[in-house]
Amino acid sequence: MAFNFGAPSGTSGTAAATAAPVGGFGGFGTTSTTAGSAFSFSAPTNTGTTGLFGGTQNKGFGFGTGFGTTTGTSTGLGTGLGTGLGFGGFNTQQQQQQTTLGGLFSQPTQAPTQSNQLINTASALSAPTLLGDERDAILAKWNQLQAFWGTGKGYFNNNIPPVEFTQENPFCRFKAVGYSCMPSNKDEDGLVVLVFNKKETEIRSQQQQLVESLHKVLGGNQTLTVNVEGTKTLPDDQTEVVIYVVERSPNGTSRRVPATTLYAHFEQANIKTQLQQLGVTLSMTRTELSPAQIKQLLQNPPAGVDPIIWEQAKVDNPDSEKLIPVPMVGFKELLRRLKVQDQMTKQHQTRLDIISEDISELQKNQTTSVAKIAQYKRKLMDLSHRTLQVLIKQEIQRKSGYAIQADEEQLRVQLDTIQGELNAPTQFKGRLNELMSQIRMQNHFGAVRSEERYYIDADLLREIKQHLKQQQEGLSHLISIIKDDLEDIKLVEHGLNEPIHIRGGVFS
């Protein structure tokens, strides 16, 4: 069921809601039998007056999945339908048809029928004269209840037909104002929305067949190419498909067909029938509103909406640059918006889940990369040491047989100084002895408590062994010197203890 905010049908030049449009939201005006969008801001009439913009064609625009407009002209598409739009593939054929921009963009003419309808509505709500007794007061309250609810018929006079109460009447209480995002696409982008009565999985699996079918709908012209911009799931197992058509010229250049031109072609009766056979329930353009259209929309509250509520909705608009107030009439429209919101929430949650999985995967990759970096650092250090050893051996072989140079002598002095500092008892040697004592104590405690084990770094243990080896060699050398000195002393003592005459005979 569509929700329409236009005036009821009459005999004057105002638009008559002769048929409900396809979709969930009828718009701010009345619709005609050829209306294909769910949210229209204008409708054709049977008068010869033009609308606010003085044209005979109303440029369609839409709000996401549920908003769009209708056109009042028929447009031809294809090389066989005329030339004049650059490449000869698209040309609009103006029909002998006069339209008007009703709804929000033009004020309907005050006809006698509307005045009578207002009088009849007031009589049904305040002073019905159907029964002629106190029961008319009860009937008035019942009519008021029906008007507040937005459904039913209000009987007030035996000679006059009852008043039909709809949700568009100004007394209906089940109304609210929400906000919809305004599209930002240009008409040159050529984006047209087609709503299919199929699931998204089915549309994606048959996307190629869908593109070929749409190409046939456009006449099968080889200079035209149908492209799918994107798809989105809608409530009630519907799918929104955004398409655009590219036209190639004989000289090799290409351009996108304007959205209004493509939409006007889709709104032709025979083309619309073919689209319905493909499962299309709604078509609309996705183009931005002009400043004049936005101003006109905001200045005139929709039919049946209190101007005070409309003004308050404009004040409460959280982002007037991107959002536009949209009336919601009845529970069905509220349910439709709730379904759309739930669907969008699910899509956001799905996207968040994908992002969370990507973050987890990135964290795993980061941990693996950190471990590999540490491994490569150790490997680089080992290779650096090996390279240094090779360079040392190569340098030794290269310098073999040459005298020591000045810089090498200076380096040797520095190394000797460092070696002396290492061997100094009061510096590093004392610290080394302290470490050795701690090692012994740890070994002792380790023997007592075998469950406690301590380990020394391999490089440090190698240095300790080298230092102890040097100390051992030094002690061995010192012991050998002492032994030699003792032998010399013994020899001297033996010589001193011999008799003098023996020594004299020896010297004679």
Residue 120 CB neighbour total at 10 angstroms: 17
Higher pLDDT, 32 or 474: 474
Higher pLDDT, 10 or 408: 408
Per residue in 235-263, pLDDT (tens digit) is 888 899 999 999 988 888 889 999 999 99
Higher pLDDT, 182 or 84: 182
Higher pLDDT, 429 or 300: 300
For residues 258 and 270, the answer to whether their CB atoms sit within 8 Å is no
Q: Rounded to an integer, what distance in angstroms lies between the CA atom of residue 146 and that of residue 290?
A: 39
pTM for the model: 0.47
Nearest to 285 by CA among 6, 43, 2, 58: 58
Residues 6+ apart with CB under 8 A from 148: 171, 172, 173
**Tokens (6 digits) for 309:** 């509520």
Nearest to 214 by CA among 202, 227, 233, 229: 227
* pLDDT band at residue 499 using 50, 70 and 90 as cut-offs: low
C-alpha to C-alpha distances, 284 to 4, 14, 41, 195, 260, nearest whole angstrom: 17, 23, 12, 9, 9
Among the ranges given (114-128, 345-359, 465-479), the one the predictor scored with the smallest mean pLDDT: 114-128
Residue 165 CB neighbour total at 10 angstroms: 24
Per residue in 430-449, pLDDT (tens digit) is 777 888 888 888 877 766 55
| SS3 labels along 131-175 | CCCCHHHHHHHHHHHHHHHCCCEECCCCCCCCEECCCCCCCCCCE
The most confident of the ranges 284-293, 358-367, 473-482 is 358-367
pLDDT score, position 504: 52
pLDDT score, position 397: 85
* pLDDT band at residue 43 using 50, 70 and 90 as cut-offs: very low
Q: Rounded to an integer, what distance in angstroms lies between the CA atom of residue 149 and that of residue 166?
A: 8
Give, in words, the CATH class of 176-329. Answer: alpha beta
| SS3 labels along 383-438 | HHHHHHHHHHHHHHHHHCCCCCCHHHHHHHHHHHHHHHHHHCCCCHHHHHHHHHHH
Q: Chain-wide mean pLDDT for the chain?
A: 75
* pLDDT band at residue 115 using 50, 70 and 90 as cut-offs: confident
Written as one letter, the residue type at 178 is G
pLDDT score, position 431: 79
Cβ-in-10-Å burial (0-12, 13-18, 19+) of 235 comes to middle
Residues 6+ apart with CB under 8 A from 310: 177, 301, 302, 325
* pLDDT band at residue 386 using 50, 70 and 90 as cut-offs: very high
- In the chain, where are the structural domains located? 113-173, 176-329
Mean pLDDT calculated for residue range 469-478 = 90
Report whether pLDDT(155) > 50: yes
Per residue in 403-433, pLDDT (tens digit) is 778 888 888 889 888 888 777 777 777 777 8
Higher pLDDT, 453 or 296: 296
Higher pLDDT, 34 or 197: 197
Q: Rounded to an integer, what distance in angstroms lies between the CA atom of residue 60 and that of residue 365?
A: 50
Report whether pLDDT(360) > 90: yes
Backbone dihedral region for residue 328 (phi beyond 0: left; psi -120 to 50: alpha; all else: beta): beta
Per residue in 46-96, pLDDT (tens digit) is 333 333 333 333 333 333 333 333 333 333 333 333 333 333 343 333 333
Among the ranges given (68-72, 345-349, 360-364, 464-468), the one the predictor scored with the smallest mean pLDDT: 68-72
Distance between start and end Cα atoms, the chain: 152
